[in-house]
């Protein structure tokens, strides 16, 4: 800019305003720096000074640790909900299938028995792995019925799953003449 003539008086702007020099980096020569004004300056293996540095980008260790703790808490809750939903699903499946299996076993025992239904136990085979059944037959003695109670039988059918983790009990009565 140099000198500026203002009115009659000549002003020296470099004295009045201090302008900081901005260094630019010449990437072709690592030891040469160009100062504003086109002059080059020789340096010896020093890092070039830059005034306008960009702020550091990234996360601090504290931010990462807080986010990991929050994610851990959330994942524990999700895991509990998932395991609970699996248990409820298995329980619902059992209580849907067990009554049908108990009635089918009772119908099978009634059609296969030639004389009387007797107690027995077993499993349902490869179609229903883990399901077992047990049938027990007992006499019913009710004094108010008299001799008729001698022909009345109580039949209990138990269907269990996963080593008696879930058990379904079905009870019916049958009148049989001996």
Domain map (residue ranges) of the chain: 3-42, 61-175
More confident residue, 150 or 4: 150
Contact 23, 48 (CB under 8 A): yes
Report the pLDDT averaged over residues 52-69. 86
Highest mean pLDDT among 16-25, 35-44, 152-161: 152-161
pLDDT score of 86 more than 80: yes
CATH architecture observed for domain 61-175: 2-Layer Sandwich (3.30)
Tens of pLDDT, residue by residue over 108-150, are 888 876 566 778 889 998 999 999 999 998 888 888 877 777 7
| DSSP calls for 65-79 | HHHHHHHHHHHHHHH
pLDDT given for residue 35 in this prediction: 54
More confident residue, 34 or 137: 137
Q: 32-41, 51-60, 67-76, 167-176: which range is least confident on average?
A: 32-41
Q: 86-100, 110-124, 147-161: which range is least confident on average?
A: 110-124
| Mean pLDDT for all residues in the chain | 78
pLDDT interval class at 67 (50, 70, 90):
very high
pLDDT given for residue 114 in this prediction: 59
pLDDT given for residue 120 in this prediction: 85
Report the pLDDT averaged over residues 2-18. 53
pLDDT given for residue 56 in this prediction: 74
| DSSP calls for 30-66 | TTEEEETTTEEEE--S-PPP-SSPPPP-S--HHHHHH
Tokens of 156: 């209990």
> For residue 176, which of 159, 161, 155 has the smallest C-alpha distance?
155
User: pTM value?
Assistant: 0.55
> For residue 103, which of 133, 130, 123 has the smallest C-alpha distance?
133
């Amino acid at each position: 800019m140099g000198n500026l003539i203002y009115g009659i008086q000549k002003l020296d702007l470099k004295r009045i305003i201090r302008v900081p020099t901005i260094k630019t980096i010449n990437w072709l020569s690592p030891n040469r720096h160009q100062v504003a004004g086109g002059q080059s300056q020789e340096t010896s293996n020093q890092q070039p000074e830059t005034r306008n540095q960009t702020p550091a980008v990234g996360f601090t260790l504290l931010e990462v640790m807080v986010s990991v703790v929050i994610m851990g808490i959330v994942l524990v809750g999700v895991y509990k909900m998932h395991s609970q939903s699996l248990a409820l699903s298995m329980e619902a499946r059992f209580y849907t299938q067990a009554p049908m299996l108990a009635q089918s076993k009772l119908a099978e025992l009634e059609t296969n028995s030639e004389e009387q239904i007797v107690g027995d136990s077993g499993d349902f085979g490869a179609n229903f792995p883990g399901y077992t059944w047990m049938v027990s037959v007992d006499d019913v003695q009710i004094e108010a019925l008299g001799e008729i109670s001698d022909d009345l039988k109580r039949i209990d059918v138990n269907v269990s799953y996963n080593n008696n983790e879930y058990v379904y009990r079905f009870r019916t009565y049958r009148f049989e003449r001996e």
